[in-house]
Amino acid sequence: MSLTFDPRSIKLPIGHFIGGEYVAGTAAMTVKAPSDGRPIAEIPLADASVVDRAVETAKAALVSSGWNRQRPRERLRALCAWADLIEKEAEYLARIEAVSSSRLIGEALAGDVMVAAEQIRFFAEFADKECDDLVPTADSQFGFIASEPYGVVGAITAWNVPVALAAWKLAPALAAGNAVVLKPSEMTPFSTLYMAELAVRAGMPAGLINVVVGDGPQTGAAIVAHADVAKVSFTGSTRAGVAIMENAARSGIKPVTLELGGKSPQVVFADADLDLAARCITRTILANAGQGCVAGSRVIVDRPVAAGLAERIVELMKQVTPGPTWDETTTFSPIISEPQLSRIDSIVTAARNMGAEVVCGGARIEREGSFYQPTVLAAVTDSSPAVAEEIFGPVLTIQSFDGEEEATQLARHKTYGLSAGLFTKDLSRAMRMVRMLEAGTVWVNRYGRSRDHILPTGGWKSSGLGKDLGREAYHANRRTKSVLIDL
Ligand code: NAD
């Protein structure tokens, strides 16, 4: 069956979703489809009073539902019912995502929605399996470390993979016994609203998931500053992460999980399978048109094979088919907005002015919508803006090295440490390099996340603090209490 659909057939959910129902707000911003630039919705921007209403609703829902007081297995059951309904409604949810974001319909369906359901079940399983710790004490005492949910968790997400990010925030927080007030990106709020609606339709207590639609400085800041939001989980740019950390420090010293930007290296040694390396490198920088936090945008290659690798990459880059996200034959996504496209182009232009050689691409694609050519830049140094800055577009830089030491030096970014790729057939070298690379994730002879949700994801340095996925994400949504009883 064809996945292609008519975008006008999709009714986007509009408003906030609070206490199990849509709450209208004054239309304040126009959202456009990146595929063709057509205005698709007018959305409200929540002010502090709307955020307050969402937080109060979340607090009340925790009490009335007994979400954290009932048997943990009940949370598991409710979350799995939500995952089941997401799977049942997968095609419609994926269509909402494709209409309003840069996600291609095929990727949104198989890669985002179905995996989100899987991750909700993954975290649901923690609810009745993670135990508190008994501690050794004298016989006359009894000591243990209890863990408890925070209460209301505030979550804020980026626009690049909205369904996936909503699942990463909601699933561990809910499984751990919290309620959530979530603000998706103002550019792509619709799929998150629909996920919240599906939770209630699946039987989860209304008010446990509240979605407020709005911008960063007003709505996001109000969530972070709210006195009853006890923990904040954020995915977005490092710049916003800094603002959130400051705000959280001033608003009651609350813990923050920050999943931020990246500028990830892909280190290719001469002994690597170059066809494999070229495929992995090209796939990651072309996926979602490079609008991925872990996009491996800096190729660092052994000098003797640099030309051969570049040739292979350029050849693969020629094979993309740009087009609307709702057409299943499209293989290359639009850029989310015109301002983001201009930013990509200005960084490429600045790099070129500083001596970068444009091996391919380097300009927008002249067609309807916001599309940028797959681009490879060579003859760059660490001071080039194309190497120093996260571009968040389909732009690769290529630098060559002689020896492991120089490879390590080039791979080390002065700001970011999100992920890294490594291509070599030499196991000893791979293990040495894994230790040397400054990154929260290292992939060897592959690039990109698998469906092993037990592997946490998160960055070093200015790429973040704390982890999404894995056991760590569940535990980050609970706080511990040390208890000692004299018997
Ligand atoms: P952004 O920082 O502009 O916005 C992200 C979210 O934060 C949005 O919802 C926005 O409204 C909100 N926001 C902005 N300023 C805020 C503030 N002062 N207080 C509270 N909220 C605020 O990022 P973006 O352009 O939406 O997304 C792209 C960025 O996200 C890239 O840097 C990318 O690397 C990063 N990202 C990281 C990961 C990860 O797992 N590390 C995943 C996806 C995206």
The residue behind tokens 């995915």 is 235
Q: Are residues 13 and 150 in the same domain?
A: yes
Banded pLDDT at 99 (limits 50, 70, 90): very high
Q: Are residues 93 and 136 in the same domain?
A: yes
Residue 32's pLDDT is what? 97
How remote is the CA of residue 265 from the centroid of ligand 1, in Å? 21
User: What CATH number is associated with residue 384?
Assistant: 3.40.309.10
How remote is the CA of residue 5 from the centroid of ligand 1, in Å? 29
Q: Are residues 290 and 347 in the same domain?
A: yes
Residue 47's pLDDT is what? 97
Helices and strands in the chain: count of H runs, count of E runs: 16, 22
Sign of dihedral through CA atoms 309, 310, 315, 317?
positive
Q: Are residues 469 and 438 in the same domain?
A: no
Q: 2 in a domain, yes or no? A: no
Banded pLDDT at 283 (limits 50, 70, 90): very high
Q: 223 in a domain, yes or no? A: yes
Question: 222: which 2 tokens?
Answer: 């109000």
* Cβ of residue 216 lying under 6 Å from some atom of ligand 1: yes
Q: Are residues 246 and 321 in the same domain?
A: no
Q: Are residues 287 and 169 in the same domain?
A: no
Q: Answer yes or no: is pLDDT of 415 > 90.
A: yes
Report the alpha-carbon distance of residue 42 to residue 44 in Å, rounded: 7
Q: Catalytic residue numbers?
A: 259, 293
Q: Are residues 77 and 127 in the same domain?
A: yes
Average pLDDT along the chain? 98
Q: 355 in a domain, yes or no? A: yes
How remote is the CA of residue 237 from the centroid of ligand 1, in Å? 4
Contacts for 139 with CB less than 8 Å, ≥ 6 apart: none
Beta strand pairing status for 460-461 and 419-423? unpaired
Residue 140's pLDDT is what? 98
User: What CATH number is associated with residue 227?
Assistant: 3.40.605.10
CA atoms within 13 A on the CB side of 179: 31
Enclosing domain of residue 351: 265-452
Specify the ligand 1 atom closest to the Cα of 185.
9
Q: Are residues 331 and 246 in the same domain?
A: no
Specify the ligand 1 atom closest to the Cα of 215.
11
* Cβ of residue 257 lying under 6 Å from some atom of ligand 1: no
Rounded mean pLDDT of 393-422?
A: 98
Q: Answer yes or no: is pLDDT of 138 > 90.
A: yes
The residue behind tokens 């960055």 is 459
Give the whole-number percent of the chain exceeding pLDDT 70: 100
Task: Please state the domain count of the chain.
Answer: 2
How remote is the CA of residue 184 from the centroid of ligand 1, in Å? 9
Residue 1's pLDDT is what? 83
Residue 181's pLDDT is what? 99
CB environment 90-128: b (16+ within 10 A), e (fewer): bebbbbbbbbbbbbbbbbbbebbbbbbbbbbbbbbebbe
How remote is the CA of residue 59 from the centroid of ligand 1, in Å? 26
Q: Provide the residue type at 318 as one letter.
A: K
Q: 457 in a domain, yes or no? A: no
* Cβ of residue 243 lying under 6 Å from some atom of ligand 1: yes
Specify the ligand 1 atom closest to the Cα of 156.
9
* Cβ of residue 118 lying under 6 Å from some atom of ligand 1: no
Specify the ligand 1 atom closest to the Cα of 236.
30
* Cβ of residue 224 lying under 6 Å from some atom of ligand 1: yes
Q: 446 in a domain, yes or no? A: yes
CA-closest residue to ligand 1 atom 22: 216
Sign of dihedral through CA atoms 396, 397, 403, 406?
negative
Q: Ligand 1, from 237, 259, 468: best to mutate by most atoms within 8 Å of Cβ?
A: 237
Q: Are residues 90 and 12 in the same domain?
A: yes
Tens digit of pLDDT for each residue in 168-181?
999 999 999 999 99
CA-closest residue to ligand 1 atom 39: 259
Q: Answer yes or no: is pLDDT of 275 > 90.
A: yes
Q: Are residues 283 and 417 in the same domain?
A: yes
Q: 481 in a domain, yes or no? A: yes
Q: State the helix-helix crossing angle for 427-436 and 404-411, rounded to 10 degrees.
A: 40
Rounded mean pLDDT of 454-460?
A: 98
Q: Are residues 437 and 313 in the same domain?
A: yes
- Provide the whole-model pTM: 0.98
Rounded mean pLDDT of 132-152?
A: 97
